[in-house]
Amino acid sequence: MNSQAQAEAGIVPVSEPIPTEPNKAEGGLSAVLTQEKSQVKPTLHASPKLGAWLREVNGSLAFTTYQSARLFMLSAGEGDKTNALERIMGAAMGLAVDDKGLWIANQQQAWRFTNIGPQTLGKTSFDAVYMPRKGYFLGPCDVHDILADVRYRGEKHELLFVNTHYSCIAAIDDHYNFRPVWKPDFISSISLGDRCHLNGMCTRDGELAYATLCGRSDTSIGWKPMKSDGGIVVDIASNKIVCEGLSMPHSPRWHQGRLWLLNSGDGNFGYVDFASGKYVVMGQCPGFARGLCFVGDYAVIGLSKLRDNAFSSGLSVAPRLKEQHIQQTCGLLVVDTRTATLTHWLTIEGPVTELYDVAFLPGIINPFTPGFSEPQLQRALVLGPPGDFAITAPAPRAPEAVSAPDTSSQI
């Protein structure tokens, strides 16, 4: 893709700044418009072969930052370069990918994006275009991890989400704000208060299976004094603790017969040894690790810098990095789990210092989404069903260029 085509499609070099907002996003259209006009911009730098690796594994990556209310998409560019696209999504948190598209949650909402297939914008062709189709307003839930098309107790759920403020896992509902389906057995009631900082969950063979939380507490914000070593992993079916003594664990994922997770407060990545109940460290991370997905034998790990406030007190990752003279990093790591070696990476400089989730888009080489703030793209991208009522092309007229905004980049 040449530079002119990239600009028409909103794909520009990642090393060039991308608009963002340094403070945590507020809701509402006015906040979206304000952030779009912001002159404060981060810079993304990819390792030399990250783009080539994405082409090799036949896919692309999506990741979120609630701090600047963005979704980023990374894909293979020309040669070994890496392309990036960004869109405002509210305080973006959990991601869930399925056969027909993806779900994106922010702290109070969940949005369904459908892949309408290959489309051409201007002179640029995309093999997947994700269009917003429906959304749920969930209330003050502080949504964290989400799962799509998941089974639990004989019921198939379109979407489950970790409802952190209400200390439960909940389903979306057409009438209620949410419908709780599970809570830790020590939580006495479903009420606002973030009692244990339940944050992560995962499936095993399609069934809701494990959850991570930061402290065994039944009082509002009672988990905070326990954050350095009170974290646990719970087997959801039995309510048994399968691993404890963790520091703010996040992002549990079942992959290749192991339960992997990020021990965020200690800044490391590993898996649970069920025989001993111990957490086995696979490698250290240069930051607060949060957000995890797998691409075959590779783990993609999200990294955040620690906040310079009381949040980081008592966590071992900051003093460890300081002692080792390692700078805290925001970005992504690609780790070969067979050898525990770092193979590729992405670093982010500037106002974006915290990420939440990362997901792999298999088979999607060049993804695109118009997001919410570009109405001309919503009008231009229309997909209808086949058959007797199929949408036909209008009569030819003078061409009108349709292009995406210049809000993405190439590394």
What is the predicted pLDDT for the residue at 122?
Answer: 80
What pLDDT digit, counting tens, does each position of 174-213 carry? 999 999 999 999 999 999 999 999 999 999 999 999 999 9
CA dihedral of residues 79, 85, 91, 95 (deg, nearest 10): -60
What is the predicted pLDDT for the residue at 35?
Answer: 54
Is pLDDT at 379 greater than 90 in this prediction? Answer: no
What is the predicted pLDDT for the residue at 27?
Answer: 43
pLDDT cut 90: percent of the chain above it: 70
Is pLDDT at 238 greater than 90 in this prediction? Answer: yes
What pLDDT digit, counting tens, does each position of 37-66 carry? 665 777 899 999 999 999 999 999 999 998
What is the predicted pLDDT for the residue at 314?
Answer: 82
Q: Residue 74 has which token pair?
A: 């990374």
Identify whether the C-beta of residue 344 lies closer than 8 Å to the C-beta of residue 39. no
What is the predicted pLDDT for the residue at 7?
Answer: 42
What is the predicted pLDDT for the residue at 311?
Answer: 72
Identify whether the C-beta of residue 408 lies closer than 8 Å to the C-beta of residue 12. yes
Please state, in angstroms and rounded to a whole number, the distance separating the CA atoms of residues 46 and 16: 12
What pLDDT digit, counting tens, does each position of 144-177 carry? 999 999 999 999 999 999 999 999 999 999 999 9
| Three-class SS state of 84 | strand
Residues 6+ apart with CB under 8 A from 372: 32, 87, 88, 89, 132
Q: Across the chain, what does the average pLDDT equal?
A: 87
What is the predicted pLDDT for the residue at 388?
Answer: 81
Please state, in angstroms and rounded to a whole number, the distance separating the CA atoms of residues 76 and 67: 26
> 19: pLDDT confidence band, cut at 50, 70 and 90?
very low
Quickly count helices (H) and strands (E) in the chain: 5, 30
What is the predicted pLDDT for the residue at 20?
Answer: 32
Identify whether the C-beta of residue 54 lies closer than 8 Å to the C-beta of residue 61. yes
**DSSP letter (8 states) at residue 353:** -
What is the predicted pLDDT for the residue at 398?
Answer: 60
- Which of 210, 146, 154 shows the shortest CA–CA distance to 178? 146
On the 0-12 / 13-18 / 19+ scale of CB atoms within 10 A, 230 is buried
What is the predicted pLDDT for the residue at 15?
Answer: 42
| Three-class SS state of 31 | helix
Q: Residue 370 has which token pair?
A: 């118009």
What pLDDT digit, counting tens, does each position of 295-317 carry? 999 999 999 998 776 677 789 99
What is the predicted pLDDT for the residue at 389?
Answer: 81
- CA angle centred on 201, ends 197 and 202, rounded to 5°: 170
CA 334 to chain centroid: 15
Is pLDDT at 26 greater than 90 in this prediction? Answer: no
Q: What is the DSSP string of 158-219?
A: EEEEEEGGGTEEEE--SSSS-EEEE--TT--S--SS-SS-EEEEEEETTEEEEEEES----S
> 73: pLDDT confidence band, cut at 50, 70 and 90?
very high
What is the predicted pLDDT for the residue at 6?
Answer: 46
What is the predicted pLDDT for the residue at 255?
Answer: 98
Residue-range domains of the chain with CATH: 3-384+399-410 (2.120.10.30)
Is pLDDT at 323 greater than 60 in this prediction? Answer: yes
Q: What is the mean pLDDT of residues 92-118?
A: 95
Higher pLDDT, 104 or 383: 104
Least confident of 109-123, 240-254, 281-295: 109-123
**DSSP letter (8 states) at residue 394:** P
Identify whether the C-beta of residue 360 lies closer than 8 Å to the C-beta of residue 61. yes
> 30: pLDDT confidence band, cut at 50, 70 and 90?
low
